[in-house]
Amino acid sequence: MRHLFLILIALTLTNCSSSKDVKEAAFLYYGKTQCLGKCPVFDMYLFEDGKILYEGFKNVDLLGKHESYLKEEELESIKQKLKEIDFSTKEKLKRDIPNTVLKFKGKRLVTQNNEQVKALINLLSKIKL
């Protein structure tokens, strides 16, 4: 019984770290954080091969983990829009407004109303899962 317990713990730790490694391999992370109201909360990871990992947490149509793939032209459009974004931009964030979080090439942008990310967010919101 004790050995079974140790094996289960080892498998759990392995699964958590491998999931983390997979997500770190994503070229783009896009997520929305909570607010004090009914804001959508989710994580989305995009990979170079077009793979998408999505997890909806709260106030979204699609709850839970889902996987899909982008068409090559969709992926290229997203990459083009990423080139237009200045990830060094800093913004004063308000407490009750959800944050949009983007991570790309080791850079992180947290924004609530950044005009330069609107075209990218529009493309990302059209992804069919």
List all residues 6 or more positions away from 92 whose beta carbon is below 8 Å from its beta carbon.
Answer: none
| 95 token code pair | 């407490």
Contact 82, 120 (CB under 8 A): yes
Arithmetic mean of pLDDT over the chain: 84
| 126 token code pair | 């059209």
Give me the amino acid identity at 58: K
Percent of the chain with pLDDT strictly greater than 70: 83
pLDDT tens digit string along 16-48?
A: 545 556 677 899 999 999 998 899 999 999 999
Rg of the chain over Cα atoms, rounded to whole angstroms, equals: 17
pLDDT score for 115: 82
Give me the amino acid identity at 6: L
List all residues 6 or more positions away from 26 whose beta carbon is below 8 Å from its beta carbon.
Answer: 45, 46, 47, 53
Which among 26, 4, 129, 2 is positioned nearest to 68, based on CA atoms?
129
Give me the amino acid identity at 112: Q
Residue 128 has pLDDT above 70, yes or no: yes
| 15 token code pair | 């699964």
pLDDT score for 6: 36
